[in-house]
Amino acid sequence: MNISQFMTFVHSIQPLYVLSGLVVGMLVGITGVGGGSLMTPILILLFGIHPATAVGTDLLYASATKTAGTLVHGYNRTIDWRVVGRLALGSVPMTALTIYVLSILNVDSPTTQAMITKVLGVALVFTALSLFFRKPLTRLYGRRVGELNPKLVRNLTILTGAVLGVLVSISSVGAGAIGVTALILLYPTMPASRIVGSDIAHAVPLTLVAGLGHWLVLGSIKWLVLQSLLVGSLPGIIVGSILAARVPDAAVRITLGVTLLLVCARFWFF
């Protein structure tokens, strides 16, 4: 890149997108949550971007951002690659299938736009609930269910990946909070840092396949927006991943949950 190209790149960077990427990137690094559940609503509600375009742009943003987070978690040995493989075995094929269905439905039609918005709203509610009730749900699950058969755990992990593949491809939401909650229930003895690291690592192939599908099949990507988001999010998720063990998880989860409910109310009622 010569000086002229570099200056063109600098002038194309938009500060508000950089700030949004920085904040969301740090939250993802700390908790494994907040990528699609915050970035997609920000792009739609604050910046007025078409829902399908917001989802596609956010998916590639999430893939690049979580690749950086995966490198940090991998260096810290907080990723269980066996779990990542099981999730991807379910999510990648279902992601491809969902993108194909969306291409048939035509993403520019009012019906498809409405479907994306409604699925996004539902996903935000489930994400918020998983943030609020993760600990009591885990305790109740431990008393009533206990440790599952290893073969059943494997199958349920693949099924979880499949569900996330559909949900994330349509709305870009769910890989974080819903994925983390499912892993906590399926692997109750796994340390929290490995749960978050494994969830972030799985989100890389999931969001990459979904993002490429939105770009190549649906054509719904805003590249100038994406590059500005990444300028903020890449350093943000690295800092957040380093701070993950130092920030009170409960405070972050409650703040995120309240924010998501407010966003959801905005989608449904205004």
91-112: b (≥16 Cβ within 10 Å) or e: bbebbbebbeebeeeebeeeeb
Nearest residue to 59 via CA among 213, 192, 240? 213
Please, which residues have CB within 8 angstroms of residue 216's CB and are 6 or more apart in sequence? Answer: none
User: Are the CB atoms for 226 and 60 separated by under 8 Å?
Assistant: yes
The pLDDT of residue 11:
62
In a domain, 217, yes or no: yes
In this prediction, residue 162 carries a pLDDT of 95
Whole-number pLDDT of residue 27:
78
- CA–CA separation, 181 and 186 (whole Å): 9
State residue 146's pLDDT score: 61
Is residue 2 assigned to a domain?
Answer: no
- For residue 1, being part of any structural domain is answered with no
How far are the Cα atoms of 3, 101, 224, 226 from residue 10, in angstroms, in the given order?
A: 10, 38, 11, 14
> Which residue segment(s) compose the domain that 224 sits in?
14-269
Residue 70 pLDDT: 87
Task: Count the Cβ atoms, other than its own, within 10 Å of residue 261.
Answer: 17
Flag whether 3 is in a domain. no
pLDDT recorded at residue 255: 67
> Rounded to two decimals, what is the model's pTM?
0.78
| Total structural domains within the chain | 1
Nearest to 102 by CA among 145, 160, 59: 59
Q: How many CB atoms lie within 10 A of CB 113?
A: 15
Looking at the domain assignment, is residue 260 inside a domain? yes
Find out whether 210 and 96 touch, Cβ atoms under 8 Å: no
Return d(Cα 29, Cα 21) in angstroms, integer. Answer: 12
Q: Does residue 4 lie in a domain region?
A: no
**Per-residue tens of pLDDT for the chain, all 270 residues:** 566 665 665 667 888 899 988 988 887 777 666 666 778 888 888 888 888 888 888 888 888 878 887 888 888 888 999 999 999 999 999 999 999 988 888 766 777 777 777 777 777 777 777 767 767 776 766 666 666 788 999 999 999 999 999 988 888 777 777 788 788 888 877 887 788 889 889 989 999 999 999 888 887 788 888 889 989 888 887 887 777 667 666 666 676 667 667 666 666 655
